[in-house]
Amino acid sequence: MLFASTRNLLHRVGFGAALTHGLAGDGGLYTPTEWPQLAPRSDSADLPALALELLQVFVAGDALAPALAAITREAFNFPAPLLMLDAGARLGVLELFHGPTAAFKDFGARFLAAALTRARRGARRPLKILVATSGDTGGAVAAAFHRHSGIEVAVLFPKGLVSPTQERQLTCWGDNVSSIAVRGRFDDCQRLVKQAFGDPALRERFELSSANSINLGRLLPQTVYYWAASLAIRREHGEPASFVIPSGNLGNATACVWARQLGAPIDAIVLAHNANRTVPDYLQQGVLRPRPSVATLSSAMDVGDPSNLERLLALFPDPERLRGAVRAVSIDDESTRERIRIDYRRYGRAWCPHTAVAAEAYQRLAPNERARGRWVLVATAHPAKFREIVEPLIGATLTMPQNLARLFDRPSSCTEIEATLDALSSTL
């Protein structure tokens, strides 16, 4: 299959090229040009097999096609369990945090790393991946690409502005991964990456790429767990599943919409945003007003101008049609805290602040809607990753998942730079 830029449907490239470029040359985002109706036969519990069956149509015709089985085995090497919270199985939680850095971003990052490493074999120059991160993305990308040959990763983060757990995950790698603490804010890190892409001298030295959630290689694999969960619910109850998704840059939500578009038995999709309410406002008012982000408890969703909205609008090009496809709500920090307290008492489960935004959005659905549907809360991170926030609310100590705990045993190192392109160039 070919993938077209959202800004020019005639600009089309294959799978490998879309992954390597990240962004289309015209600034648009790569999107599938066809929506075949898929009917996978694999057992939904076998994620690598299901992924191979679902994704082969996208990779068909590309040089990577023969490697897809190996890529999906490497990427989907941890589970995405679906657990029911009530006796009637009307509400479940899809746990996406069993990977190396305990957040859903591990799925996309690991798939992208496995695919790009193979796409680069025999290339003349190493591929240099630059990632600006405010926390979670950088850790997932660093973990996924660590010790992959032919690829170097530089992670830029704002010095002193990420949590201690996050800083640890960004600086514990070495080898082909370098960590750069920028004396500035997240916006400075992002600006530096953009400037680097536009700098002829750097482009001479390296082939540059990005690994943030605009990369198609992160979105497509995320469709797989929506298929798995919705197929399991249909098999068990004969009904489609509805999802409530903690949303920021809309990468995870776009994957769910794409899965439904490809035939997955999915009914409603609710986008649960924090106080960054650009998308809920757009659906309500019909006017798109991107704005600077505001800081909240669910920091990985602090996005005021979500990139992947461009992909949703490519499918549903006006507010009316988008309203028919998804719903969106905005939840404030106080309600998020309260939801963590209440649900811990009710279910004995601790939510990370992002997942709690979805849990609160679910509570705000009409009671008859909750009673009719088969709802799934998408749990995007392990609560222990945000223990500073969660533990005081639930009055209990959380255990770090083993994967995450292991990172704390590794030595940590990083280079500190001024927020200038010169400073960045000389460390690369």
Taking the least distance from each CB to ligand PLP, the nearer of 176 and 212 is 212
Site map for ligand PLP, 381-420, x if CB under 6 A?
x---------------------------------------
With beta carbons less than 8 A apart as the criterion, state whether 173 and 179 touch: yes
Q: Which residues of 246-285 are buried (b: 16+ CB within 10 A; e: fewer)?
A: bbbbbbbbbbbbbbbbbebbbebbbbbbbbbbbbbbbbee
By CB under 6 A, residue 260 contacts ligand PLP: no
With beta carbons less than 8 A apart as the criterion, state whether 30 and 3 touch: yes
Considering only the stretches 68-76, 240-248, 342-350, 365-373, report the one whose residues sit in contact with ligand PLP under the rule CB under 6 A.
Answer: 240-248
By CB under 6 A, residue 354 contacts ligand PLP: yes
With beta carbons less than 8 A apart as the criterion, state whether 389 and 353 touch: yes
Distance CA 181, CA 423 (A): 11
CB of 359 to ligand PLP, least distance (A): 13
Listed residue (373, 407, 385, 391) closest to 96, CA to CA: 385
By CB under 6 A, residue 250 contacts ligand PLP: yes
CB of 401 to ligand PLP, least distance (A): 14
Which of 248, 280, 373, 383 is the binder for ligand PLP (CB under 6 A)? Answer: 248
Which of 14, 40, 251, 265 is the binder for ligand PLP (CB under 6 A)? Answer: 251
Distance CA 377, CA 362 (A): 8
Could you tell me which residues are beta bridge partners of residue 132?
156
Could you tell me which residues are beta bridge partners of residue 272?
246, 329
Taking the least distance from each CB to ligand PLP, the nearer of 207 and 281 is 281
Taking the least distance from each CB to ligand PLP, the nearer of 127 and 153 is 153
Taking the least distance from each CB to ligand PLP, the nearer of 94 and 424 is 94
Distance CA 273, CA 340 (A): 16
CB of 70 to ligand PLP, least distance (A): 26
Taking the least distance from each CB to ligand PLP, the nearer of 253 and 359 is 253
- Alpha helix ranges (H) inside 330-366: 333-347, 353-363
User: Which phi and psi (to 5°) does residue 134 adopt?
Assistant: -105, 5
Binding positions for ligand PLP, rule: CB under 6 A: 103, 105, 136, 213, 246-253, 300-301, 354, 380-381
